[in-house]
Amino acid sequence: MKGFEYVSAKDARHAIALLAEYGPKAKILAGGTDLLVELKSVPEAPPAVIDITRAEDMKGIKVTDRGLVIGALATHSEIMSSPEIRERYPALVDAAHSIGAIQTRSLGTLGGNLVTAVPSLDSGPVLVALEALVTIAGPAGSREIPLAEFFVGPRRNALKAGELLVDIVIPRKNLGKPAGFQKFGLRKGQALALVNTGASFWLDPVKKVFVEPCIALGAVAPVVIRAPKAEAYLAGKKVTPEAMAEAGRIAAGEAKPISDHRASADYRRDLIAVLTRRSLEGALAVAERNQMESGK
Amino acid sequence: MTDVVLRVNGKERKASVPPETTLLQLLREHLGLTGSKLGCDVGDCGACTVIVDGLAVNACLMLAGQVEGREVLTIEGLATRDRLHPIQRAFEERAALQCGFCGPGSIMSAKALLDENLDPTVLEIRDALSGNLCRCTGYTKMIDAIQDAARELREEKAALAVR
């Protein structure tokens, strides 16, 4: 690696001050699983690498009056073992588990995964399907935007110069909303998704219909996208295997997958239909478990 | 320069290194611990796997400054003067390595797994090894070896509990 200055931030506010001091070319080091790879191949080193791994105020996973708040520095391993997440969102555990291998998950952070904004990022679909928000802090204060708007394009996010992603919030209205995640890669470990999907809905306990269905698709457009036609089709409809399969077929028509060396666009469209259906089935399993437990 | 003080294999170590030094370079080039291997240098192959504060990580993807004050365990920290660690012995007995280059990393991944879970399923073992590329063995014998080591470590633990 080319030489750079290494500075360690003690909290988010300190990191923002350091970003202002070193300018827009300074790099934030969170998990480092993408940044160090990048720094090993860039022709010019950044003026500084700002290590935020010791910023305790950006860690932690807790329920507050905002909803479920996940610090940007929560690692994929921490998400997998968090009781707050495990009991509410098995889909987030599955998504975290599908990233890289154990070594990547020990270091890699949720915030880092989102900031890289690669179209196939595995943290994206479930969080978008749960209408997550992100908190962005900067010199002028902080702002909150929907995660879906944080993704601007392939490898492009909504952070402006000097800003930092601080936390990710699943809003209170979606606390415990049943969700499912599916990913298809060419191998089990260390594989990028050809397609990944997230789905969430509330199951009406009496009428057994879909309430507020949300479907999100990854790796099939420049950013993680919702499937509004499939969602509209499901809303208020009786929960049946046929309805879930049809939603998958509709969702397949809403994406713009590309053909590349890993898979053709046609293959990806077929995957969307199957994975969307399975994500809905996953959400249904959680919904039924929840209703059984609350019925006890 | 970045000054770091950390514990490596139970001993306090100090070094003053250029800021862009990775943990792997710190271990190999500054502390003389060449057991951890440099393979891909981008976090794919796992040959540099070490345990930092209980977690298996790729040493090529951490900067030296990040391990200030932390506890690092490398392959050199497993055996004592006259006794291999049960995982190492099981790898030897099962012939779980051929060229051996992935060995230190694979064994450290197994160590991190067994520190958390002394009775892993084959699926859990495969998951734990999914970040360690081995082009010789096909992994089968590694999985056997890790099951052997787990059994031995469970028996050791049971024997200690009886005493």
User: Cβ of B57 under 8 Å from any chain A Cβ?
Assistant: yes
Residue A205 neighbours by CB distance under 10 Å: 11
What pLDDT, on a 0 to 100 scale, did the predictor assign at position A1?
87
pLDDT at position A293 over 80: yes
What's the pTM? Answer: 0.96
Q: Any bridge partners for residue B149, and if so which?
A: none
Q: Which residues of B touch A104 (CB under 8 A)?
A: 43, 58, 131
Residue B3 neighbours by CB distance under 10 Å: 11
Are B61 and A37 a contacting pair at CB < 8 A? Answer: yes
Are A102 and B130 a contacting pair at CB < 8 A? Answer: yes
pLDDT at position B163 over 80: no
pLDDT at position A27 over 80: yes
Backbone φ and ψ of B23, nearest 5°: -55, -40
What pLDDT, on a 0 to 100 scale, did the predictor assign at position A287?
98
As a whole number of Å, the end-to-end CA separation of chain A is 59
User: Cβ of B58 under 8 Å from any chain A Cβ?
Assistant: yes
User: Cβ of B128 under 8 Å from any chain A Cβ?
Assistant: yes
pLDDT in tens, A71-93: 999 999 999 999 999 999 999 99
Are A102 and B41 a contacting pair at CB < 8 A? Answer: no
What pLDDT, on a 0 to 100 scale, did the predictor assign at position A5?
96
pLDDT in tens, A152-163: 999 999 999 999
Q: Give dist(CA A91, CA A84) in Å, integer.
A: 13
What pLDDT, on a 0 to 100 scale, did the predictor assign at position B29?
98
Q: Give dist(CA A141, CA A75) in Å, integer.
A: 25
User: Cβ of B115 under 8 Å from any chain A Cβ?
Assistant: no
Residue of B nearest to A188 (CA): B130
As a whole number of Å, the end-to-end CA separation of chain B is 50
Kindly provide the ipTM of the predicted complex, given to two decimals.
0.95
- Closest Cα in chain A, distance from residue B19 (Å): 6
Are B128 and A102 a contacting pair at CB < 8 A? Answer: yes
pLDDT in tens, A161-198: 999 999 999 999 999 999 999 999 988 888 899 999 99
What does pLDDT average to over chain A?
A: 96
pLDDT at position A259 over 90: yes
Residue A162, CB half-sphere, CA atoms under 13 Å: how many? 9
User: Cβ of B60 under 8 Å from any chain A Cβ?
Assistant: yes
Chain B interface test: which of A99, A102, A116, A187 (most B C-beta within 10 Å) = A102
Q: Which of B18, B52, B131 is opposite residue A101, by nearest beta carbon?
A: B131
User: Cβ of B53 under 8 Å from any chain A Cβ?
Assistant: no
pLDDT at position A296 over 80: no
Are A36 and B60 a contacting pair at CB < 8 A? Answer: yes
Chain A interface test: which of B29, B55, B60, B139 (most A C-beta within 10 Å) = B55
pLDDT at position A278 over 80: yes
Q: Which residues of B touch A101 (CB under 8 A)?
A: 46, 130-132
What pLDDT, on a 0 to 100 scale, did the predictor assign at position A213?
98
Q: Give dist(CA B134, CA A169) in Å, integer.
A: 40
What does pLDDT average to over chain B?
A: 97
Q: Which residues of A touch B65 (CB under 8 A)?
A: 6, 8, 51
When pLDDT is cut at 50, 70 and 90, the band that residue B107 belongs to is very high
What pLDDT, on a 0 to 100 scale, did the predictor assign at position A294?
87
Closest CA to B127 of A186, A75, A191, A188: A188
pLDDT in tens, A114-137: 999 999 999 999 999 999 999 999
B107 by DSSP, 3-state: which?
A: helix
What pLDDT, on a 0 to 100 scale, did the predictor assign at position B162?
83
Residue of A nearest to B20 (CA): A3
For residues A235 and A227, is the Cβ–Cβ distance under 8 A? no
What pLDDT, on a 0 to 100 scale, did the predictor assign at position A189?
81
Which residues 6+ apart lie within 8 Å of A262 measured at CB?
Answer: A186, A192, A194
pLDDT in tens, A32-51: 999 999 999 999 999 999 99
What pLDDT, on a 0 to 100 scale, did the predictor assign at position A187?
85
pLDDT in tens, B57-93: 999 999 999 999 999 999 999 999 999 999 999 999 9
Please state the rounded mean pLDDT for residues A238-262: 96
Residue of B nearest to A39 (CA): B20
